Each structure stands twice: as C-alpha cells, then as structure tokens.
Amino acid sequence: AVAMSATDGLKRGMEVIDTGTPLSVPVGGATLGRIFNVLGEPIDNLGPVDTRTTSPIHRSAPTFIQLDTKLSIFETGIKVVDLLAPYRRGGKIGLFGGAGVGKTVLIMELINNIAKAHGGVSVFGGVGERTREGNDLYMEMKESGVINEQNIAESKVALVYGQMNEPPGARMRVGLTALTMAEYFRDVNEQDVLLFIDNIFRFDQAGSEVSALLRRMPAAV
C-alpha cells in the first residue's frame, strides 16, 4: 500500500477497508478557480465542491484510431513563441529556465490567451512544490484575473497541488489527477486545454521514493 495523505496515527495491524473502486476526483466547471489535492479534495478553504461529476484517475489510454494525426499549430498570441518556437496542438512542450526569469509570467500569458482567444481553460499540477511557491502562484493568478474571486465559476484555471510536505505517493499521482481534470474539458466539453506540470524532476523524484518504499528498482514503478 502507498499512502496518499498523512500517515499520522497509523500503525501495523490496523484494519483496512477495500472500497473496490478506483480513486476518482471531481471534474468539470466546478473545479475552475479551486485548489485540490491528489484525492480531489478542495484545500483552499472555500467550501465543498460539486462532486456529482467525477472521473477515475486510472484509465486506459486512447486507442490509435482515436488519435488525431492532423498537424496544427497552437497560436499562443505571444509573438516570440509563435515565431521562433511554435507549439504543436496536442503536443508536449518543456519550459526550462532558472529562478526569476519569467516562467510564471509566461504561464499566466498562456492561460489568459487560451481562455480569451480559444475559449479554453487550463489545469495546473504542482508536483513537489514548496508551499511558498504554490501560494505565490495562487496569489498571482488572483491578481491577474485568471482566478476570479468575485465569481469563481468564471475562472480559467484549476489547480492541483501535491506539495513537498506530502507523501511520495501523493506527489507521484498528482499529475494524474490534473490530467484527469484536463481530459474532461477536452473530451466532454470539447474545449482547448493547457495542462501544466511543474515540475517533472520532482515527479521523477517522487517515483524513486515510492520505489525505495516498495523495495524495488526505480524502473519497476
């Protein structure tokens, strides 16, 4: 068993109940403007979330015939990006840079532009972030209007955090929780979605920690 939350008070020999159901998280418009943990529980002290629509985080990948092979460019609206390093729609992009060089500013611009120009939304998965980093990002999103405090439903982003103080199992799976929320907007709402995972190194690090806990080689997890 791999813990997904704090293990305070747990001990050997305790009774464990198998629910027989996969880990499911809230999806849809109710997630916008809110912060969740890996279990899909709101952690922003803004009250409960509508959980009538949920989706399991472990699902089969799309079959080959379901994939769109048409090449198209995602116009970000940022001239230097569109000219020198265009993003492919449906592809993956790595944003590399040191501290204070503007990665968060670029993320804000991308979230704003996909909402205004493409009618889409974004999902941000914070993997192994420091609490300060997660809080700073949240405050910047509120200041920029990406998260609308007056009307949460009009927000353009959902946040999923598995921070540095969380068990490695939670940090390893927080990316799947964010991906599940993003896939719902793509598949059901048929919207353009940007999924941000910050950062991949700490995701890989969490996997290595889980491997050590299970006494396996890292490649086996």
Which amino acids are annotated catalytic? 103, 129-130
CB-based contact 196:158 (threshold 8 Å): no
* Helix or strand (DSSP H, E) at 201: helix 200-213
d(CA 35, CA 155): 12
Tell me the residue type at 192: D
d(CA 8, CA 66): 44
Mutual angle of helices 168-187 and 200-213, in 10-degree steps: 130
Q: Which residues pair with 55 in a beta bridge?
A: 25
209 CB-near residues (< 8 Å, 6+ apart): 168, 171, 172
Residue 71 has which token pair?
């090449």
Q: Which residues pair with 159 in a beta bridge?
A: 35, 124
Residue 97 has which token pair?
């840079």
d(CA 188, CA 138): 27
